């Protein structure tokens, strides 16, 4: 397919990541991109800006993805117009961002992101520019609003494959950093010195992994080399930005592969410290549970079904719970309060790293609480649980735990049958349950405990419930 897309285009001989001041220009005979493949609205934005006398190109992910035959997630425009000038051109435009100011042009549900050409500004910029651009002592860019030329703009982009500009008028591709070469060779390569570029913005390490997973590319070896050593720099990134990035990592349809790469490059620990510790302590259970949750998410996305970040975070954090519950119990706390406190503490700690909004942390707690309640089915409890709006998520979560090898005494199967059963079958299921408990001479909690459940495998269904 790539051959077809690039037609007779020949590889440049030089393959260094250093950007060029004059681009390689691919004419419309050398590639198969046509303006008709881009969003109509994005092309209109480019043309309106050109009419108003500005330079404007389609850039980034949309050019990259279309060259690879993928459907772009969104369409980004790069222009010589400042955000305010863009706003002046379009009634439906809004200026957003502080660290990185840009204009959003709204067309119904579609948003075209219009960014002004920016320059890379060396460390030690003039004081007077500090309101436009600034860095901290490790070189991290705190504000990135120094505007520049198209050539400057290509240099400050993260990866070579993201620095391709599509000119809608001539249907030409401008390639300043050998991005086309890297697309052909399926490589993620930073523009410029990798270490410096990661220090400028550690999130680029996450982006490298995200694109590698999404495109099934390799991270070029010089771009891969500094990641492990710099991974801890992610701790300096504001938690709100990390929340956005984590959603992009896990909700793009390639979460399972992304997770494997995050672990491989030591990037998982700075994002989810407690879960990474659980992964170390108990790799089989933790790895299976998280990967299964992510695989389910990928499958739902592939089928166009909705996914909830709460379920994902509930799964990512769950393996970190048992050690904490146990610790509190060893200090004399009864099971239910120990579970509650451990859950609260874990989420609070995690939110310092990744700012998970309340609208997700509440359902995380509810999914976890449901795990304590699902084993308790006597009398009217089972029917009440079925009516609980969180039942489905709680039940799916139970199946996930079982898939990961947690022993629940067949609880998942029981609930599967119960949902399918008629009223009278349900009544008899509850009676059977009571009889079995009587035969066992005690409640469900002790019965399962005798079954030899391994406490280290995961938060228990019975211990916190203590029913």
Catalog residues that contact Mg ion under the rule CB under 5 A. Answer: 61, 74, 76
Q: Which is nearer to ligand ATP, 161 or 276 (CB)?
A: 161
Neighbour-count burial for 141-156, b at 16+ CB within 10 Å, e otherwise:
bebbbbbbebbbbbbb
Q: Which does 344 bind (CB under 5 to 8 A by kind): Mg ion, ligand ATP, none?
A: none
Residues that contact ligand ATP, how many (by CB under 6 A): 12
Residue in the shown chain whose Cβ atom is closest to ligand ATP: 61
In 272-332, where does DSSP find H-type helix? Answer: 273-281, 283-302, 309-317, 321-330
E-state strands within 282-416: none
**Distance from C-alpha of 335 to C-alpha of 364, rounded to nearest angstrom:** 19
E-state strands within 13-60: 24-26, 56-59
> What does each C-alpha distance from 96 to 4, 17, 107, 148, 355 come to in angstroms?
39, 31, 16, 19, 20
**Region near ligand ATP per CB under 6 A, out of 82-90, 200-208, 262-270, 338-346:** 200-208
DSSP structural state of residue 127: G
Chain centroid offset of residue 339 CA: 28
Is residue 442 among the annotated active site residues? no
Q: Which is nearer to Mg ion, 47 or 74 (CB)?
A: 74
The tokens for 237 are: 């990134």
Q: Does 309 bind ligand ATP (CB under 6 A)?
A: no
Exactly one of 153, 158, 201, 298 is catalytic; name it.
158
**Distance from C-alpha of 170 to C-alpha of 196, rounded to nearest angstrom:** 35
Tell me if 101 sits within 8 A of 83, measured CB to CB.
Answer: yes
Q: Which does 157 bind (CB under 5 to 8 A by kind): Mg ion, ligand ATP, none?
A: ligand ATP
Is residue 369 among the annotated active site residues? no
Residue 466 CB, nearest distance to Mg ion (Å)?
Answer: 50
Q: Which is nearer to Mg ion, 29 or 73 (CB)?
A: 73
**Region near ligand ATP per CB under 6 A, out of 29-37, 197-205, 332-340, 346-354:** 197-205
**Distance from C-alpha of 212 to C-alpha of 426, rounded to nearest angstrom:** 49
Q: Which is nearer to ligand ATP, 80 or 461 (CB)?
A: 80
Which of 182, 201, 220, 372: binder of ligand ATP (CB under 6 A)? Answer: 201
**Distance from C-alpha of 198 to C-alpha of 467, rounded to nearest angstrom:** 51
Is residue 193 among the annotated active site residues? no
Q: Does 390 bind ligand ATP (CB under 6 A)?
A: no
Tell me if 443 sits within 8 A of 324, measured CB to CB.
Answer: no
**Region near ligand ATP per CB under 6 A, out of 2-10, 88-96, 155-163, 322-330:** 155-163
Q: Which does 35 bind (CB under 5 to 8 A by kind): ligand ATP, Mg ion, none?
A: none
Q: Does 203 bind ligand ATP (CB under 6 A)?
A: yes
Interface pattern 50-69 for ligand ATP (x via CB under 6 A): ----------xx--------
Interface contacts to ligand ATP, rule CB under 6 A: 60-61, 73-74, 76, 157-158, 162-163, 201, 203-204
Residues classed as catalytic: 74, 76, 158
């Amino acid at each position: 397919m790539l051959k077809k897309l690039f037609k007779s285009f020949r590889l440049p001989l030089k393959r260094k990541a250093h950007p060029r001041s004059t681009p390689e220009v691919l004419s419309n005979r050398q590639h198969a991109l046509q303006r008709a493949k881009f969003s109509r609205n994005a092309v209109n934005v480019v043309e309106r800006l050109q009419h108003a006398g500005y330079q404007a190109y389609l850039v980034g992910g949309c050019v990259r993805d279309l060259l690879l035959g993928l459907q772009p997630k969104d369409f980004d425009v790069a222009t010589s117009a400042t955000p305010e000038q863009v706003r002046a051109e379009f009634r439906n435009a809004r200026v957003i961002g502080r660290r990185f100011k840009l204009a959003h042009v709204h067309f119904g549900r579609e948003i075209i992101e219009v960014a002004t050409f920016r320059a890379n500004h060396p460390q030690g910029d003039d004081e007077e520019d500090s309101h436009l651009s600034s860095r901290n002592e490790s070189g991290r860019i705190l504000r990135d609003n120094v505007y520049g030329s198209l050539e400057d703009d290509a240099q400050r982009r993260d990866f070579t494959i993201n620095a391709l500009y599509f000119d809608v008028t001539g249907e030409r591709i401008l390639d300043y950093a050998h991005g086309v070469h890297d697309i052909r060779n399926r490589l993620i390569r930073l523009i410029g010195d990798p270490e410096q570029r990661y220090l400028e913005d550690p999130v680029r390490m996450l982006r490298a992994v995200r694109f590698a997973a999404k495109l099934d590319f390799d991270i070029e070896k010089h771009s891969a080399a500094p990641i492990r050593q710099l991974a801890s720099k992610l701790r300096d990134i504001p938690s709100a930005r990390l929340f956005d990035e984590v959603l992009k990592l896990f909700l793009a349809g390639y979460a399972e592969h992304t997770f494997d790469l995050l672990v491989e490059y030591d990037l998982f620990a700075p994002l989810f410290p407690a879960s990474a510790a659980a992964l170390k302590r108990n790799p089989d259970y933790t790895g299976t549970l998280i990967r299964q949750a992510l695989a389910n998410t990928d499958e739902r996305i592939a089928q166009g079904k909705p996914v909830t970040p709460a379920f994902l975070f509930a799964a990512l954090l769950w393996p970190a719970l048992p050690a904490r519950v146990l610790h509190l119990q060893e200090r004399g706390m009864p099971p239910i309060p120990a579970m509650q406190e451990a859950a609260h503490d874990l989420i609070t700690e995690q939110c310092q790293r990744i700012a998970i909004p309340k609208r997700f942390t509440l359902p995380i707690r509810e999914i976890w609480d449901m795990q304590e309640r699902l084993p308790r089915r006597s009398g009217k409890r089972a029917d009440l649980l079925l009516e609980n709006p969180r039942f489905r998520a709680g039940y799916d979560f139970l199946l996930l735990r079982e898939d990961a090898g947690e022993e629940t005494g067949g609880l998942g199967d029981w609930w599967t049958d119960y949902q399918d059963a008629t009223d009278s079958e349900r009544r008899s299921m509850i009676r059977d349950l009571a009889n079995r408990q009587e035969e066992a001479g005690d409640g469900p909690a002790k019965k399962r405990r005798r079954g030899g459940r391994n406490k280290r495998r995961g938060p228990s269904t019975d211990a916190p419930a203590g029913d």
